[in-house]
Amino acid sequence: MEPDLKNNKPECDFDQCDFICVHESVVNQVLNAMPKEQELLDLADFYKVFGDATRIKILYVLSQSEMCVCDVANLLQMSQSAISHQLRVLKQMRLVKFRRDGKTVFYSLADGHIETILAQGMEHISE
């Protein structure tokens, strides 16, 4: 930060209050509405899953159709083991579900919320 010689204050790239004044009623209202710490940590972990391009691709593929690991791997031109690893993560976070049909395991999105999250994310980046 470069000093502002006129006001004898450091310049900032963001707006900030010129004086300290805590608005206790607003702070207390927000504190009462805040989820518990563990819930916020779980939410952060949930969104971390969406931070991987391969997992996003898999979720998008499964939003179009239920598929087995072989089909997903072929479609994304990746190894079955790489897809299986990512599906394991997605399954642990309850984003995908599976069903067995004989020797084949088919994966699909766990529920409609996941498709909504993907659609809203695509809408956001398109703006």
- The sheet carrying 67-68 orders its strands as 67-68, 104-109, 96-101
Give the whole-angstrom CA distance, residue 87 versus residue 60: 13
- For 50-89, the pLDDT digits (tens) are 999 999 999 999 999 999 999 999 999 999 999 999 999 9
Q: Which residues contact 114 (CB under 8 A, 6 or more apart)?
A: 59, 63, 95, 96
Q: Report the DSSP beta bridge partners of residue 105.
A: 100
Give pTM, 2 decimals.
0.77
Model confidence at 1, pLDDT cuts 50, 70, 90, reads: very low
Q: Report the DSSP beta bridge partners of residue 68.
A: 106
- For 86-121, the pLDDT digits (tens) are 999 999 999 999 999 999 999 999 999 999 999 999
Q: Which pLDDT belongs to residue 62?
A: 98
Q: Report the DSSP beta bridge partners of residue 96.
A: 109
SS3 call for 16: coil
Give the whole-angstrom CA distance, residue 5 versus residue 113: 53
Sign of CA dihedral 111, 68, 74, 92: positive
